[in-house]
Amino acid sequence: MKPLKENGSDKPKKNEKDRKKLQKLVAKNMEETLKRIEEAEPGTESSEDSPFVSGEGDSDDGDNDGDLVSEGEDDDNYHAEDSHGESDDSREVVEESDSSEDEVAPRNTVGDVPLEWYKDEGHIGYDLAGKKIKKKERQSKLDSFLANVDDSRSWRKIYDQYNDEEVELTKDETKLIGRLLKGKAPHPDFDPYAPYVDWFAWDGAKHPLSNAPEPKRRFIPSKWESKTVLRLVRAIRKGLIKFDEKPKEKPRFFDLWDDSTSAERQGLAYIPAPKAKLPGHDESYNPSAEYIPTQEEINAYQLLFEEDRPKFIPKQFANMRSVPAYDKSVQELFDRHLDLYLCPRVHKKRINIDPESLKPKLPSRRDLKPYPSTCYLEYKGHKGPVITISVESTGQWLASGSKDGTVRIWEIETGRCVQIWDLGEPVEQVSWNPKPEVPMLAVAVGHDVFILNTKCGSDEQQKTIEEILHVEPQKVEDDSDSTANVVTWGQDEKHGGIRLKHFKLSKKQTQRIPFKTKGIPVATSFHPTRSIFFTATKKDVRVYDLIKQKRIKKLDAGVREISSIAIHPGGDNAIVGSRDGKLCWFDMDLSSKPYKVLRAHKKDLTAVAYHRTYPLFASCSDDNTAYVFHGMVYSDLNENPLIVPLQILRGHSTGDGRGVMDCKFHPRQPWLFTAGSDSLIKLYCH
């Protein structure tokens, strides 16, 4: 054990001797360096001093003060070498050239491969012959320091890590680096302030350098600049750009848990996420007894729905080490992240509106009486579907036409059939004469029209009707004559009236209508007071002025196919029925589009009708129902018509797949007549 102690005590003594020896060497080198500097002071500046510190008299062509090394002393500085008498440059000076061929090729050919890959290898790459370039032995830092102290040109040496060699800079290279460090031109002969030399000979020049015309931007104000100025002026007026206003200083510190300050800090559009609820007393590891539920309460939680159960049940522990890990911590953290990421947060202005206030304020049906609501009478007698009905203008008689080829006259109040005509073909339309003094009936059968004497008037009226219905026989004219009549008027002795036979539909007897109807006409109607004619095709309704002989309006119903049309007694409104169960109300003073579209019926609408005096209108359909509506048209043009559904009339049965075929109002009473495919006519009264 004694030798070990001696060896252990000798080790620090040895390190102390090495340290003292190193200090002596450093002091000796410093003394030699100082002597060398003192010897060089009387003469010219030593070439070994760094050229990056310029002398007092250094200048570059008399203009550039503070250059690296003065031009006049270059030769003296670099030829008055150290005491060894060696030349300044150990390698041959190469003339400057811009050619890339004069550059010395690198010795190492590894390219862009990082040298770190070779740090554990014995070589650093490969030369042009493909041989390995061995690494040189590295000196320790102490040896390299001592070598640099002894070498007066160590400040000019640079280690090339790529080729693993030291490169010594030449005089010109050091001067160039010094000029670049000072922000000057690399070449000393370059004059940055040389006088301008005009290389173009202007004397005797007759033409400009370019014959291109002057661009407009040189003499026309820029419209883009004016737009920019206008935009800035508007921004200043709106207050978006403010002058002489100090920017608001943002507070360096803010309350982390304050939602209002964070929202103001981020701007108006920013909505901070809601803060998580802080734990309370019930989540303590040792809560009070009042927070701990009993076993009965825990059993009652199991009977609740899952979303109604409490998520956390408090428990009591003796200390913190007894608290187990929370099994739902990951799930709750994940749900919290989903809420922050997926739930949008937007400021919405909430308006408290009563839903009942959004409903239109319609009058009560009791206030809109009278209107038809109950079936009062049935007219039986037809053997086929009743297609058309018409009410006499006095309201005493009712005419009906059926597919069985018969036309019947009924007394409305009693339901008694007073007259029957058998025309042999299905009846298409019946209509009374609007004048009550001449009670005649027009019946359309096939291509013919019968005008019949109903014999419902007094004796004087009968004489007048017989005179009207007496027609002399007409001669048949050539078809080529352009003045040929549309119909032939012939006496019908069998039915006691006149028969109008259509033989050439392309000619008109009374008036040549200049307009052409586009599409197949479905229904027609006259204006109640003016000479205006309505023609309904399958897609639209065209309105013509018979005096001016031109079209004045086109009503676009926007339905699949139009089936019927009726004109309001005032003449400014119309209703149109369609095959897809829609009823369109048109306000012709307002627009050519429907004012209201009522989707009441489930099947095709067959007929629509207005009442002459009461604000009522009705529609019937193949679904065996008839709808009665209240339709009030006000004299004030600023007030829209009031439309209120009143009653659904049922009672007809289906026949041949059809339902209610026609409907008409009584001219004086709020009564409605309906004709069905079940060969019945019903009267609905209030």
Query: Any idea what the CATH number is for the domain that residue 376 is in?
Result: 2.130.10.10
The rounded distance, in Å, linking the Cα atoms of 645 and 662 is: 19
Residues facing residue 664 across a β-bridge: 673
Q: How far apart are CA 514 and CA 554, in angstroms?
A: 17
Q: Which one of 322-331, 352-361, 459-468 scores highest in mean pLDDT? A: 322-331
Q: Give the model confidence (pLDDT) of 635-673 as tens digits.
A: 887 888 888 899 999 888 888 888 899 999 999 999 999
Do 306 and 377 belong to one domain? no
> Does residue 528 fall inside a structural domain?
yes
- Residue 67's pLDDT band (boundaries 50, 70, 90)? very low
Count of C-beta atoms within a 10 Å radius of residue 84: 6
β-pairing verdict for 427-432 and 417-422:
unpaired
> Do both 583 and 661 map to the same domain?
yes
pLDDT at 366 over 90: no
What percentage of the chain exceeds 90 in pLDDT? 14
Q: Give 249-261 pLDDT, tens digit per residue.
A: 877 877 766 655 4
What pLDDT does residue 38 have? 60
Domain assignment present for residue 308? The answer is yes
Give yes or no: residues 306 and 371 share one domain. Answer: no
Q: Which helix (H) or strand (E) holds 585?
A: strand 583-587
Q: What is the pLDDT of residue 481?
A: 46
Average pLDDT over residues 174-187: 89
609 phi/psi in degrees, rounded to 5:
-155, 145
Burial of 668 (0-12, 13-18, 19+ CB in 10 A): middle
Confidence of residue 71 (pLDDT cuts 50, 70, 90): very low
- In terms of domains, do 402 and 508 share one? yes
Residues 6+ apart with CB under 8 A from 428: 387, 388, 401, 444, 445, 446
Q: Which domain holds residue 298?
A: 281-319
451 against 1, higher pLDDT: 451
Average pLDDT of span 494-523: 63
d(Cα 486, Cα 478) in Å, to the nearest integer? Answer: 13
If DSSP codes are grouped into helix, strand and coil, which group holds residue 312?
A: coil
- 396, 412 Cβ separation under 8 angstroms: yes
On whether both 309 and 391 belong to a single domain, the answer is no
pLDDT digits (tens, 9 = 90+) for 544-603: 888 888 888 888 888 888 999 999 998 889 999 998 889 999 988 888 899 989 888 888
Residues 312 and 434 in one domain: no
Inside any domain, residue 673: yes
Lowest average pLDDT, out of 183-192, 455-464, 561-570, goes to 455-464
Which one, of 468, 411, 416, lies nearest residue 442 by Cα?
468
Domain match, 294 and 420 both: no
Residue 684 pLDDT > 80, yes or no? yes
My answer on whether 438 and 561 are in the same domain is: yes
Q: How far is CA 129 from CA 107, 108, 122, 132, 165, in A?
A: 10, 10, 18, 9, 19
Residue 370 in domain? yes
Both tokens of 673, joined, read 């007549």
Confidence of residue 610 (pLDDT cuts 50, 70, 90): very high
Q: What is the pLDDT of residues 482-491, one digit of tens each?
A: 444 556 676 6
Q: Is the pLDDT of residue 506 over 70?
A: no
Please say if the pLDDT value at position 112 is more than 90.
no
Nearest to 410 by CA among 454, 440, 446: 454
Report the alpha-carbon distance of residue 166 to residue 185 in Å, rounded: 27
Measured CA to CA, the distance from residue 266 to residue 345 in angstroms comes to 14
Percent of the chain with pLDDT over 70: 77
Pairwise CA distance, residues 68 & 175, whole Å: 6
DSSP letters spanning 258-277 = -HHHHHHHH-TT--PPPPPP
Do residues 568 and 441 both lie within one domain? yes
Give me Rg for the CA atoms of the chain.
58
Most confidently predicted of 16-30, 72-86, 160-174:
160-174
| pLDDT tops 80 at residue 193 | yes
User: How far is residue 615's CA from residue 646's CA, in Å, rounded to a whole number?
Assistant: 12
CB-CB contact of 675 with 389 (8 Å): yes
Neighbours of 601 (CB within 10 A): 25
| Residue count of the chain | 686
Q: Let me know whether 552 and 634 are in one domain.
A: yes
Residue 617 has pLDDT above 90, yes or no: yes
Q: How many CB atoms lie within 10 A of CB 667?
A: 17
Q: Which of 587, 532, 539 is nearest to 563 (CA)?
A: 539
In a domain, 157, yes or no: no
Where among 259, 291, 319 does a domain terminate? 319
Alpha-carbon span 547 to 531, nearest angstrom: 7
Overall domain count for the chain: 2
When pLDDT is cut at 50, 70 and 90, the band that residue 34 belongs to is low
H helix or E strand, kind and range, residue 684: strand 680-685
Residues 496 and 371 in one domain: yes
User: CA of 69: how far to CAs of 83, 175, 385, 408, in Å?
Assistant: 21, 7, 127, 136
Q: Which residue has the tokens 């006000």?
A: 634
- For residues 19-28, average pLDDT: 71
Give domain status of residue 490, yes or no: yes
Is the pLDDT at 285 greater than 70? The verdict is yes
Same domain, residue pair 396 and 520: yes
Q: How far apart are CA 76 and CA 44, in angstroms?
A: 7
* Domain assignment present for 632: yes
Residue 54: pLDDT above 70?
A: no
Pair 378, 680: CB distance under 8 Å: yes
Q: Is 217 helix (H, G, I), strand (E, B) or coil?
A: helix
Q: Are 123 and 134 in contact (CB under 8 A)?
A: yes
What's residue 515's pLDDT? 67
Structural domain contains residue 106? no
Q: Where does the pLDDT of residue 61 fall: very low under 50, low under 70, confident under 90, or very high at 90 and above?
A: very low
Least confident of 230-234, 444-448, 620-624: 444-448
User: Quick check: pTM over 0.75?
Assistant: no
Distance CA 298, CA 643 (A): 62
